[in-house]
Structure 1
């Protein structure tokens, strides 16, 4: 059984990295590090995440947190500094990270951005049963990923045939059954996968996975229940042709469809007068691509992508279609005393949104985007133990984005933005690194913020003589993009059985896009208003003794922020939060038992009209068990005491729930 890396977003790769377990004498010449097999979010190149100049957390499918998850909240709710808003409904999930809300955190699904803007409805839709891993990169990353990557990038990667095939196998099938007590959910996923070698030396591989689940009312912390009646159908189809060692053609289709009866606002907890709405949420992501790998240190991925999100209600429909082409690559060269790693790419896309029926706040408009980026990291020097001053990295990068938006009335918005990034790292030894860097990021206004002009809400009376008229959106084609400038410094240190990563960041944000509502004038519009300062830190400490039967960790994060003009709290802030854990591996039984503690200090950095939130301490237990080579099980009991607690945005947290997954593979 592969070890269950149940560090839930803290040290999943750090503690188990083969690089971290290797012991190299100080006087041994430094060898070129072996590159990891995957591109890592935040670097665009294969690397040891422990020595990346930012905080990267990884959750893989062997972790009970991902293996048992039925919605994104189950995966990401434990992450220090990262929060999922909503009340547990799949299409009400939005993210905040490093002080930035839903539009300041870029979500990618198999490399394709997910950013539909539909008011209170979420902007990404994915079935966790189809995921291989989730990567969370903290920090300003517009220099690599463009708009929205101000607080970080969340990358969801789906499973491949190679992930499921055992050594020596050429085909297989896997049936996974899952359930969650808090939502009365039962589901199943059937996967068929295989690989076939052809006579000319090439090979084919593919996977088809079909999932179905049914769920009911959702039980939140403290026993409160929010209404929901939903069914989810999902499909993942992948195929690839490995023409040679250098060339690979691949294609895939990822389909998601949820039919639900829920409140008009899916982030709402209590529903008055039984006001429920039938809503169908459909998402499709298609890709056709080519990978060129002329050597172990060079790769270029080019893909044509088409995505479509459609949200249907009885009297309204909202559809976003995005057609794009993108090419991303990396190349490493050694020049004797100097090595160089290049990450580069370009992309072009058109996103078109179409309203139907009485859809409000979702204008008929489109936006074209063209971008290119280049990031160069130079490495030189020798470690102190080899007579040098240490090994140094100098990283320089920038991305240029230009976008042009236009609505059905011909109103245009044409802007461009350059996002530079500079970083310096010093490694006196192979096990210690200090780094510091500067980065600029931006977020383009959404089409709804630029062009919405429909009715926002109906008029009402506040008393016998005080009434307000109907309220209408007012377009603002001159809206400027949000921008930010960030400094971040940190260290990475392996010492004995311990590993430490920590960083501190300070961000100055300009032209925050806010919504200005004038009740008596009957208008709502998006405006650039605030200048913000956001600051905080992330830290990860892990302990893994040489016998590898016990593993412990703690992850800490805090985000503070204020309006630089008024001094008032501003941004999606978080109190001091900690995730702690302990895992014990019973080697002879292939059983990993784990405990998780989630803790937060009381939170009063909220606007003046909002009440402070109390602190909390929550406890979870989990296990991963490979019963036989064919049969495995994962269990997670969340919030054992069913304690009532609140997220920083004021939404009620998850309640006690038993999540389970049983998988049979043959």
Structure 2
């Protein structure tokens, strides 16, 4: 980190601190305790007006997922992107995916999203919760959040130790489809004002099979994940935290996650290393106007690849240095939340040790982003609450020999909630968001694809053309949500209903434009230049006209005595408003039903989840995607007597061996899998 970066960080921290330092003159005490670990969503109380899905530790244990995306597949309008190889999978939210979805891990941005390469690296066995915020939310998080945010929280010492003392957890799991073994261990201690945790996992995956028995080549991998955390509550007002995390993966996936890995020439050797270090500081004195949360972090992600048909090695590396500083003030009916943050991504990329005929991403490119935001919550009446905020970001992308891309964006947000009755709440909100173009979208050159080869002349190729004039994508979303909670309908029971309808319009959508010449023009190019390089046309990233994504979500949950039942439905439609054509990557309509029964006399829960995905025929081309149904069964045994601390989970995923593929993927998903895990917490 150079002196310029340090001065930027120092200035930003002082900007966030200044209102708090002035507020120390105020003598009014806080009426209630502000939680130190509150997320930006909780600090602004937007959980009342936004559509949010949460997968907690209980559901993670029940499903025993192989990836974060798999853990989220039962949620409405969320689907798996990236094919069937767990290490390649990412998340699609309401028809947007990839770099249009922001990823947060333990409060820090994760900015690695590089073409067809993976971007989710955490082993789900080390997570305590996954939270998905649907819809644009740049007002709090800045660039990238035009489709939503996936927030991943790893386990803490408090998850293992209740009060003072030393504790830990050991866990082992096995899945027969792919011969998958997962071993996890964690130890933690809370002693006085200090708590710490050390945890790790190792996962070994073989060749999986799809529902018809065909092998899914490319699923093999060896994954290891490590985690260390240390927190020191120096006194009632000051708290310091340190965390270290790494994920390493070695595998042989297809070069593009959504392509058929049955062809040997699509498989590659891929080694992935993802490292993160973070330092946090909270200042929370007995003053309602000061609740300061600051952090600095560093991420380094490196992927090296060797194709089965080539000798060169590809290297993709991104280093991110970032910071954030936020302050929360409570003025009774008015709460104010302010903050600044920034990060710099440095990209290093090499392709095939100089091999020709390959895309050439910019080596040594960097992006610098700084943002500031302010948010207010105001209780207008006892039943009506208002929230509003605005964020300003400035960002700059640069690469050697290329024109800089220097832009800024303003992201406003506003919501209103109305507690119409004790059992009924309505909310309406409007949000704008943006995503800055990546350096690969701006500056990629080299070969996109080879059409054919001519003896004596060589390959006839389509080439990438840099486009440093790209504008950021901008989203405008309006959403109406209703929440209805009933108790004691027919007995001591509870019923919760949620409905949300949304419309998200994205301007300056960034997409690849592939221009193919006529056959005559192609042959003229070859004859005129004596080479086929570029004669099959050009490709570049361009801003296209406005895209519209709209839909709705419904969910219901009912509980009576030992029985819990739930059902949800999600529907999204996406069109290019310039010509009315259907957008790609919009998930199929999906129903999910769940039924669970607690056998308290034997300390056991049994349940089932059924997923029904409709046919996806709203496509821009000719290929459609068939409907499919999958059913999972699960059982959990957690004895409360002499074996307190033991927990055994048994899952049958895709119990009826459905052979299916998710819309927009060429490959089929794994078939039936028997999954068994046992853990002991002490």
1:327 shift after superposition: 1.6
Asked whether the equivalents of residues 318 and 347 of structure 2 are also in contact (C-alpha less than 8 Å), the reply is yes
Asked whether the equivalents of residues 99 and 144 of structure 2 are also in contact (C-alpha less than 8 Å), the reply is yes
1:38 shift after superposition: 5.3
Quickly say closer, same or farther: Cα 1:580–1:467, change in 2 above 3 A: farther
Aligned counterpart in structure 1 of residue 673 of structure 2, from 637, 646, 657: 657
Aligned partners of 1:278, 1:47: CA distance in 2, in Å? Answer: 45
Matched, 1:324 2:322: yes
Instruction: Tell me the equivalent position of 2:237.
Output: 246
Aligned counterpart in structure 2 of residue 63 of structure 1, from 39, 54, 59: 59
Deviations 1:545-570 (A, max 9, x none): 3x3x2211111111001111211101
Question: Secondary structure, in 3 states, of the residue corresponding to 1:574?
Answer: coil
Asked whether the equivalents of residues 183 and 218 of structure 1 are also in contact (C-alpha less than 8 Å), the reply is yes
Q: How does 1:574-589 map to 2 (within 5 A)?
A: 574-589=587-602
Asked whether the equivalents of residues 513 and 539 of structure 2 are also in contact (C-alpha less than 8 Å), the reply is yes
1:331 shift after superposition: 3.0
1:220 shift after superposition: 2.8
Aligned partners of 2:236, 2:168: CA distance in 1, in Å? Answer: 27
Asked whether the equivalents of residues 402 and 443 of structure 2 are also in contact (C-alpha less than 8 Å), the reply is no
1:571 shift after superposition: 4.4
Matched, 1:639 2:654: yes
Deviations 1:534-554 (A, max 9, x none): 100112211123x3x221111
Matched, 1:509 2:506: yes
More displaced 10-residue stretch of structure 1: 204-213 or 248-257 = 204-213
Aligned counterpart in structure 1 of residue 182 of structure 2, from 181, 184, 187: 187
Aligned partners of 2:77, 2:413: CA distance in 1, in Å? Answer: 23
Asked whether the equivalents of residues 44 and 375 of structure 2 are also in contact (C-alpha less than 8 Å), the reply is no
Instruction: Tell me the equivalent position of 2:301.
Output: 309
Aligned partners of 1:152, 1:270: CA distance in 2, in Å? Answer: 30
Question: Secondary structure, in 3 states, of the residue corresponding to 1:91?
Answer: helix
1:356 shift after superposition: 2.7
Aligned counterpart in structure 2 of residue 257 of structure 1, from 248, 254, 264: 248
Q: Which has the larger radius of gyration?
A: 2
Aligned partners of 2:73, 2:264: CA distance in 1, in Å? Answer: 31
1:598 shift after superposition: 0.6
Question: Secondary structure, in 3 states, of the residue corresponding to 1:370?
Answer: strand
Question: Secondary structure, in 3 states, of the residue corresponding to 1:609?
Answer: coil
Aligned partners of 1:37, 1:323: CA distance in 2, in Å? Answer: 23
Quickly say closer, same or farther: Cα 1:569–1:415, change in 2 above 3 A: same
Unmatched segments (≥5 aa) in structure 2: 1-30, 307-312, 353-357, 488-493, 518-534
1:277 shift after superposition: 1.9
Aligned partners of 2:36, 2:627: CA distance in 1, in Å? Answer: 41
The Cα RMSD (Å) is 2.4
Q: What's the TM-score once normalised by structure 1's chain length? A: 0.87
Count of residue pairs the alignment pairs up: 610
Aligned counterpart in structure 1 of residue 551 of structure 2, from 536, 542, 557: 536
Q: How does 1:565-576 map to 2 (within 5 A)?
A: 565-576=578-589
1:523 shift after superposition: 1.8
Asked whether the equivalents of residues 90 and 125 of structure 1 are also in contact (C-alpha less than 8 Å), the reply is no
Instruction: Tell me the equivalent position of 2:74.
Output: 78
Aligned partners of 2:663, 2:550: CA distance in 1, in Å? Answer: 16
Instruction: Tell me the equivalent position of 2:375.
Output: 375
Q: How does 1:2-41 map to 2 (within 5 A)?
A: 39-40=38-39
Matched, 1:91 2:87: yes
Deviations 1:281-300 (A, max 9, x none): 11011101112233597633
Instruction: Tell me the equivalent position of 1:8.
Output: none
Aligned partners of 2:612, 2:659: CA distance in 1, in Å? Answer: 13
More displaced 10-residue stretch of structure 1: 425-434 or 130-139 = 425-434
Deviations 1:58-109 (A, max 9, x none): 1112224577223223312222211111333233112211221212111111
Matched, 1:355 2:349: yes
Question: Secondary structure, in 3 states, of the residue corresponding to 1:425?
Answer: strand
Q: What's the TM-score once normalised by structure 2's chain length? A: 0.85
Aligned counterpart in structure 1 of residue 485 of structure 2, from 486, 494, 515: 494
Unmatched segments (≥5 aa) in structure 1: 1-31, 198-202, 383-390
Aligned partners of 1:37, 1:642: CA distance in 2, in Å? Answer: 46
Question: Secondary structure, in 3 states, of the residue corresponding to 2:177?
Answer: helix
Instruction: Tell me the equivalent position of 2:15.
Output: none
Matched, 1:204 2:194: yes
Q: How does 1:95-134 map to 2 (within 5 A)?
A: 95-134=91-130
Question: Secondary structure, in 3 states, of the residue corresponding to 2:362?
Answer: coil
1:274 shift after superposition: 5.3
Aligned partners of 2:506, 2:234: CA distance in 1, in Å? Answer: 48
Asked whether the equivalents of residues 44 and 337 of structure 2 are also in contact (C-alpha less than 8 Å), the reply is no
1:622 shift after superposition: 1.0
Asked whether the equivalents of residues 62 and 636 of structure 2 are also in contact (C-alpha less than 8 Å), the reply is no
Aligned partners of 1:484, 1:427: CA distance in 2, in Å? Answer: 28
Instruction: Tell me the equivalent position of 1:333.
Output: 331
Aligned partners of 2:554, 2:658: CA distance in 1, in Å? Answer: 26
Q: How does 1:214-613 map to 2 (within 5 A)?
A: 214-228=204-218, 229-273=220-264, 275-294=266-285, 299-314=291-306, 315-334=313-332, 339-358=333-352, 360-364=359-363, 365-382=365-382, 391-460=383-452, 469-496=460-487, 497-520=494-517, 521=535, 522-545=537-560, 547=561, 549-611=562-624, 613=625
Aligned partners of 1:481, 1:649: CA distance in 2, in Å? Answer: 25
Asked whether the equivalents of residues 482 and 513 of structure 1 are also in contact (C-alpha less than 8 Å), the reply is yes
1:346 shift after superposition: 1.0
